[in-house]
Structure 1
Amino acid sequence: MKRLPDWELRLSDLVGQRLAEPFTWGANDCVLFAADGIAAMTGIDPVADLRGQWACRGEAVRVIARLGGLPDAVAALGLESVAPLFAQRGDLVLHRRDGTDALALCLGNQLAGPSDSGLLFFGLENGVQAWRVG
């Protein structure tokens, strides 16, 4: 998976579009936000075959469990694993939110992920695992 020449603009556009969009299972949850980020940067939707398979937390948990959990699902994409503090703009970062694994996009010195009130921004030090995109 290679980043497109204008990946930074595409990532910025995605973040701008999602700033006020609330978390919604199956539309703007952490997995789909991360996948939309990858698609924006590379032109490849890594979860095209999974879209539409969940509309609530329980369904999402079942689908992700079938894939071995978030870390295994991301690893299956063939992305290089890096220490969270070495994540760079556009990389995926796994963090724990309310005791649950969640994905976020690295925007440089902070992470972004969907929340009930739109995008939530928080420090890179909250990362547990990270993967280089492109």
Structure 2
Amino acid sequence: MIRLPDWEARLHDYLAAHEGAVFAWGVTDCALFAAGAVEAMTGTDPAASYRGHYSSAAGSVKALRRYGAGTLSDTISAAFPDRATGHARRGDLVMVDDMVGICIGTDAVFVGEENGVAGLVRYPRAEWARCWGVG
């Protein structure tokens, strides 16, 4: 997947639209949130085969086994090249505690809840376990 010429504006708009997003399995979970960001930047939805196939944590595990490479990290690794977390660029995929989010610089954003408020939650680079390059 190659990033579109206006990927930065597209990513900005996508993230702005998800500022108050509420986590929901199969709708706005971490994987679909990250895949939506990739689609915004590239025009290609890497999770198209997963959408509509699960609505729970257990269902997501089954979908990853059926349509992916077994686990979330293995499925992402099958589609995107690994990148050292220290070399992450804005828009790359980042993993923290088995959640996937989007690098926005020195932080990454994930859909979730912080202090009782739903929306995008930031994690600093020091907490990132893995990174994958997008485009």
TM-score norm. by structure 2 comes to 0.91
**Structure 1 counterpart SS, 2:129:** strand
Looking at secondary structure, tell me which structure has more strand per residue.
1
CA distance in 1, matches of 2:43, 2:101: 19
CA distance in 2, matches of 1:91, 1:34: 9
Which amino acid in 1 is paired with 2:44?
A: I
Greater Cα offset, 27-36 or 117-126? 117-126
Name the residue aligned to 1:132.
133
Please list every run of at least 4 consecutive aligned residues from structure 1 whose deviation after the TM superposition is greater than 4 angstroms: none
Deviation of the 1:86 alpha carbon: 1.6
CA distance in 2, matches of 1:91, 1:115: 18
Q: Within 5 Å, which residues of 2 pair with 1:1-134?
A: 1-66=1-66, 67-77=69-79, 79-96=80-97, 101-116=98-113, 117-134=118-135
TM-score norm. by structure 1 comes to 0.91
Greater Cα offset, 53-62 or 12-21? 53-62
The answer as to whether partners of 1:25 and 1:56 remain within 8 angstroms in 2 is yes
Give the count of matched residue pairs.
129
Which amino acid in 1 is paired with 2:23?
A: F
Unaligned ranges ≥5, structure 2: none
CA distance in 2, matches of 1:24, 1:51: 12
Percent of residue pairs bearing the same amino acid type: 38
